[in-house]
Structure 1
């Protein structure tokens, strides 16, 4: 009986609650300008929600692993050249003739990656395409209704591309020194496209060109060396 009481007392001391300190008072959202009329048109976007069928590209059993990534980009470039567009696209791919030759290192189509981004158990094709002016286009493709469809397309001064779970995360150069843009693209089953669900600007380090320069502190004198004293002798004292 005594041993049981001692065990219960020991368990209570180890798991007792401790205060985390004072917490800030919860404040509800305050709506600003409640009489502001709704917008009449949507803001300009950068390709989110737009899909494109790639004509002429098929694969047995809709297996996207059988698709040649360079053929996909060539088919899209051919379709873009044939369309009556008033101005050339800023995402025009240059150097496709170098793909599959001895100068294949200059091919703008990078290594293809495959990952199930929609959760349907089938892989999607993720392509990176080098563009002029050090831009990178990132595109995702999947088969829908036996047609190869581009379900994501964006381009930027990309620093890196990652896949976390089912999200494609792009890091891009920001206008502010020491910051970067980070955008997570996720599959939206209603739109049947990858949408930029999280878009943020993050601090990555100190500014490249700081505006102020710290003033250097004077170095303290060494305690082992004492300043030499100059004798204050006059000519008469020296003669004596």
Structure 2
């Protein structure tokens, strides 16, 4: 990017040199008044503002995981299956119900030791999501209908706390900086949802700080070719005119 920036500056200097020769006094000529900035306009200003959310989406919910001790606050030393099993008994301060798993998935998690082939707990990942220099534990749990539960855990003074819990039919889960980004399909063809979860120090939890619907760029070779037009039958073509026109 630096060469482009240098060329841009050089072009600007050259432009100023040319403009310095214009005008009666040898200075720059005004192109008129700059347009005024347009700020946001509030609609229905007399409408009383809402003071409470109509639904509890589970944002900011955390839960202490019972029966788990983290030596040295090192989550790498934890077994993800044990964490998932202990998490079934965890209770949040607010009971939104969004952290609950289907009964069939709960049974599979409990049977992970005896039926590992059906265990829905995926390979764990470790990232520093909070910026305190220590890794957090990120676990994925497969759910029916190709949905995925994503949960993040933080260790502090030997206590393990679930700081994030969400469920979606995801295209992928990605790490961007210290944010977890979930990509989910949209019912609109060619679009997808992207939700970024970020650590909030005040809430001591991961919050969905950005949720947007974006158009998916077409990949090379995936563009749909136009439907070819079939040639008209021989008998349907108009006969040439006997009298030529000028």
TM-score when normalising by structure 2: 0.69
Aligned to 2:197: 185
The answer on 1:15 being equivalent to 2:10 is: yes
Aligned to 2:101: 91
CA distance in 1: counterparts of 2:82 and 2:9, whole angstroms: 65
Aligned to 1:142: 154
The Cα offsets for residues 101-146 of structure 1, whole Å up to 9 and x where unpaired, read as 5x53431000000000100000000111011222100000001343
Tell me: CA distance 1:150–1:135, structure 2 relative to 1, closer, same or farther (3 Å): same
Tell me: CA distance 1:70–1:14, structure 2 relative to 1, closer, same or farther (3 Å): closer
SS in 1 for 2:195: strand
CA distance in 2: counterparts of 1:204 and 1:13, whole angstroms: 31
The alpha carbon displacement at 1:13 in A equals 11
Q: Which runs of 4+ in 1 moved over 3 A?
A: 11-14, 23-26, 87-90, 214-221
Count of matched residue pairs: 199
CA distance in 1: counterparts of 2:71 and 2:210, whole angstroms: 35
CA distance in 1: counterparts of 2:172 and 2:215, whole angstroms: 16
- Tell whether the 8 Å contact from 2:99 to 2:166 is kept in structure 1 after alignment: no
The answer on 1:168 being equivalent to 2:180 is: yes
CA distance in 1: counterparts of 2:121 and 2:151, whole angstroms: 11
Tell me: CA distance 1:56–1:34, structure 2 relative to 1, closer, same or farther (3 Å): same
CA distance in 1: counterparts of 2:198 and 2:98, whole angstroms: 29
Aligned to 2:63: 52
Q: Which runs of 5+ in 1 are unaligned?
A: 1-10, 207-213, 222-240
- Tell whether the 8 Å contact from 1:46 to 1:154 is kept in structure 2 after alignment: no
The alpha carbon displacement at 1:28 in A equals 1.2
Aligned to 1:224: none
Larger radius of gyration: 1
Aligned to 1:229: none
Please show how residues 109-120 of structure 1 align to structure 2 within 5 Å. Answer: 109-120=121-132
Aligned to 1:196: 208
CA distance in 1: counterparts of 2:70 and 2:101, whole angstroms: 26
TM-score when normalising by structure 1: 0.71
The alpha carbon displacement at 1:73 in A equals 1.0
The Cα offsets for residues 141-172 of structure 1, whole Å up to 9 and x where unpaired, read as 00134310000000011110000110000001
Q: Cα RMSD over matched residues?
A: 3.6
- Tell whether the 8 Å contact from 2:71 to 2:158 is kept in structure 1 after alignment: no
